[in-house]
A and B are shown apart, each in its own frame.
Chain A
Amino acid sequence: MTLGPNKIVKNINNSSDENEILVLKKFKKYFPIDKTRFIHAVDGVSLSVKKGEILGLVGESGSGKSTIAFTVMGMYRATGGQIIYEGENVESDTTKRSMGFKKNVQIVFQDPGSSLNPYQDVRQILSLPLMVHRIVPKHQIDKKILEILEMVELPKSFLYKSPSAIGGGEKQLVAIARALCSNPKFIFLDEPTSSLDVSIQAKIINLLLKIYKEKQITYTLITHDLSLMRNISTRVAILYLGKLCEISTTESIYKDPMHPYTQMLFSAIPVISEEEESLKPKKVRSTGEIPSPVDIPKGCSFNTRCSKKIDICMYKDPHLNEVLPGHFVRCHLFSLDLELDKQ
């Protein structure tokens, strides 16, 4: 691929678009192990989520997808970088955050079994966010809860059920209902269907899409199911060891995956028809495992598993470059650094 020098290294951070609902700038989260060593869970991620889009975050476990969501939600304090929500800086200290932010940004966790309080019934679970954010006056809470239950297509009888008495798919629906209580504008979906069967997954995803259309909520969907991602997200970001590898619109990335890691991920998807088989990159085969985020390899962090690595990958970390309009890849194969190095 030939590239003009002007196209290269266009920083995505500097664009301040009205449409952007959430922007992360050089976002970092390290977890300390001891005084000198850190787990580099998220290592300088810059990305923006536009209003009304479904951004997919993909990567293996240990790539930092959930850490991004949890840190934005305030479960951890960010080590560095900025979180900007609707043009305003968000403090990493949760006590200093505004109620408005807490109301507008919600999360649905991966495992509904452990994210719902087993000692409360559905009514108690759903009434807390309504009371905290004063969505409705106290005497209307029950009415509002029924409205929300209807929205997630659960029957009235669920009001006094405890989470242990209902099935996995229904628990996840309650978790979604809880996130919807405060009329949020932005929801993190942290692998909402990975612990469920395909038939239930289809139901929940369809419900989420229905709510997305009705309420115009922006989603950030974290998943490792690339086939699912293909069908619902509008933009996809691939993460590896806390860094972005590739980010682009869904069509572009599925038509032409450029980063060797994206190709490896795509080649590993089990598919059910010949038609899909033909869409997978053929020559790449998955090898190796994701290295420990404590000792990240020097140079490009993917060099331990990459089939196309060249000398420069061993000592120099590539930048995120715009290879096609809106299609960013962090790989030396697609950057000018290579040619500069040769000169």
Chain B
Amino acid sequence: MINKKTVNNRISQIGNNNKYNKVNKNAILEIKDLMVWYKTYRGSSKVLDGVNMHINVGEKVGLVGESGCGKTTTMKMVLQLLNPIQIQIPKGEIIFNKKDILKMNKIDLMDIRRKHVSMISQEPMVALNPVYSIGQQFQDIIKYSGQYPRASNEEINELSKKAIENVMIPDADRILKSYPYQLSGGMRQRVCIAMSLVTSRDLLIADEPGTALDVTIQDQIHRLLKNLVEKKAVSLIMITHSLGVARELVDRIYVMYAGNIVETSTTKNIFERPSHPYTKGLMRCVPKLSGGGIWEGIYGYVPDYNNPPQGCRFSPRCPDAKEVCSINKPPTYEIAEGHYVACFNFSNTVKRL
């Protein structure tokens, strides 16, 4: 059990560490020190433990980590898709277009979901409504986006057709008339991408769009997504657990472990100089196409969030853990320009809080 005092201590400690996250004028989305706890029968499950990230306009950002690290929770918080009865937000801000999403009323929130942010989910079958045809679902999206207030049915049809052609599906008319079950997995995911980009958006959140698909289809979907995002100048957050996918798609990577951002830098830097022990471990776990066997994996498992480890949450699994790691939460160090690592191993380098 955690008493109130220790909670407050922890919070103040974390708060001090996050001054590096300066107000960024270009940022379309800024998450500041976000903590999210799930309420469970065994007490609160402290999933997000001070997440800091920002996405600039037109940037492609990847969020990488094992399952159960809080990647999807973070993104669902952006769209407020979690049931407010089940969660607690002790702390944090999510600033989208200079407004705090956490303080918004329902109408503004609706606006964000309808007009500004869209999301592609992992399971295309679950994301599409099985009882409406694809065309009807497109119609809803276009109507409620508010961007085409007086569009007739024909115009809406035209728009949807164009969107479907953009995702390289021939025979758009047939697709619009069909129901989700009549399409294959790859087709459905393409339709989801088409839907998310049919109206102009500021931010697109892609939650492992290729995971449920075959490698060849996954490759096609990722290429398509990249092209469309670049063409339409939409900012993209790509959630993935595959480092390879992140390498091919995004400009900048956030590595997340147990509700903390442990390392962030440009894609090139991360792959050339992985610095946090967790990032290094993840990289070594990926089987290489060039052969050379398989590393034994990272020791241990993702922690129980009801009873997370004190100090650095990675310390029980960390090969380089020191005494201080299990007492204090590591601050974020800037080890190179734009390369931030939350690890005590870098305490001798210039400290930028």
Q: Which A residues contact B (CB, under 8 angstroms)?
A: 60-61, 167, 169, 197-203, 205-206, 209, 224-228, 230-232, 254, 264-265, 267-273, 275-276, 279-280, 285-287, 289-290
Whether A230 contacts B291 by the Cβ 8 Å rule is yes
Contacts of A197 in B (CB 8 A): 66-67, 241
Q: Give the 3 A-B residue pairs with the shortest CB-CB distance, closest first.
A: A270-B244, A202-B297, A268-B219
Contacts of A268 in B (CB 8 A): 215-216, 218-219
Whether B282 contacts A169 by the Cβ 8 Å rule is no
CA distance A230 to B184 in the complex (A): 29
- Residue from the list B244, B248, B298 in contact with A199, Cβ < 8 A: B298
Give the nearest-CB partner of B69 in chain A. Answer: A197
Whether B248 contacts A198 by the Cβ 8 Å rule is no
Interface string of B274-305 (1 = CB under 8 A from A): 00000001110111111111111110010000
- Residue from the list A227, A275, A285 in contact with B287, Cβ < 8 A: A227
- Residue from the list A203, A230, A270, A287 in contact with B288, Cβ < 8 A: A230
Contacts of B184 in A (CB 8 A): 289
CA distance A275 to B288 in the complex (A): 10
- Residue from the list B218, B289, B293, B294 in contact with A280, Cβ < 8 A: B289
Contacts of B75 in A (CB 8 A): none
Take A60-B214, A199-B66, A224-B215 as given contacts and tell me if A232 and B289 are in contact as well, using a CB distance cutoff of 8 Å. no
CA distance A254 to B290 in the complex (A): 9
Question: Across the A-B interface, how many residue pairs have beta carbons closer than 8 Å?
Answer: 118
Whether B241 contacts A206 by the Cβ 8 Å rule is no
Is residue B326 within 8 Å, beta carbon to beta carbon, of the partner chain? no
Give the nearest-CB partner of B247 in chain A. Answer: A272
CA distance A290 to B186 in the complex (A): 10
- Residue from the list A271, A276, A286 in contact with B216, Cβ < 8 A: A286
**Whole-angstrom distance from the CB of A54 to the nearest CB of chain B?**
13
Q: Which B residues contact A (CB, under 8 angstroms)?
A: 66-67, 184, 186-187, 214-220, 222, 241-245, 247-248, 271, 281-283, 285-298, 301
Whether A272 contacts B216 by the Cβ 8 Å rule is no
Take A206-B297, A265-B216, A289-B186 as given contacts and tell me if A199 and B281 are in contact as well, using a CB distance cutoff of 8 Å. yes
**Whole-angstrom distance from the CB of A133 to the nearest CB of chain B?**
31
Take A202-B296, A269-B244, A270-B248 as given contacts and tell me if A225 and B287 are in contact as well, using a CB distance cutoff of 8 Å. yes
- Residue from the list A167, A226, A265, A272 in contact with B283, Cβ < 8 A: A272
- Residue from the list A61, A199, A203 in contact with B214, Cβ < 8 A: A61
CA distance A202 to B299 in the complex (A): 10
Given A232-B294, A270-B245, A289-B217, 19 other A-B contacts at CB below 8 A? A197-B66, A197-B67, A198-B242, A200-B301, A201-B297, A202-B295, A203-B296, A224-B214, A228-B294, A230-B290, A231-B287, A231-B293, A254-B289, A265-B216, A270-B248, A272-B243, A272-B271, A272-B288, A286-B219
**Whole-angstrom distance from the CB of B202 to the nearest CB of chain A?**
27
Give the nearest-CB partner of A60 in chain B. Answer: B214
Whether A201 contacts B285 by the Cβ 8 Å rule is yes
**Whole-angstrom distance from the CB of B130 to the nearest CB of chain A?**
20
Contacts of B295 in A (CB 8 A): 202
Contacts of A287 in B (CB 8 A): 220
Contacts of A202 in B (CB 8 A): 285, 287, 294-298
CA distance A276 to B214 in the complex (A): 20
**Whole-angstrom distance from the CB of A278 to the nearest CB of chain B?**
9
CA distance A232 to B288 in the complex (A): 11
**Whole-angstrom distance from the CB of B240 to the nearest CB of chain A?**
9
Choose among A206, A269, A273 the residue with the greatest number of B CB atoms under 10 Å from its CB.
A273
CA distance A201 to B296 in the complex (A): 9
CA distance A67 to B142 in the complex (A): 43
Whether A231 contacts B218 by the Cβ 8 Å rule is no
- Residue from the list B247, B285, B290 in contact with A279, Cβ < 8 A: B290
Take A230-B287, A230-B289, A289-B186 as given contacts and tell me if A199 and B297 are in contact as well, using a CB distance cutoff of 8 Å. yes
Whether B241 contacts A198 by the Cβ 8 Å rule is yes
- Residue from the list B186, B281, B301 in contact with A167, Cβ < 8 A: B301
- Can you list 21 A-B contacts (CB < 8 A)? A197-B241, A199-B66, A199-B281, A224-B214, A224-B215, A226-B289, A230-B288, A230-B289, A231-B287, A269-B215, A269-B289, A270-B242, A271-B247, A271-B288, A272-B243, A272-B283, A276-B288, A285-B219, A286-B216, A287-B220, A289-B186
CA distance A271 to B282 in the complex (A): 13
**Whole-angstrom distance from the CB of A33 to the nearest CB of chain B?**
16
**Whole-angstrom distance from the CB of A122 to the nearest CB of chain B?**
18
Give the nearest-CB partner of A280 in chain B. Answer: B289
Whether A272 contacts B286 by the Cβ 8 Å rule is yes
Whether B291 contacts A60 by the Cβ 8 Å rule is no
CA distance A206 to B282 in the complex (A): 16
Give the nearest-CB partner of B212 in chain A. Answer: A61
Whether B215 contacts A200 by the Cβ 8 Å rule is no
Whether A265 contacts B217 by the Cβ 8 Å rule is no
Contacts of B271 in A (CB 8 A): 272-273
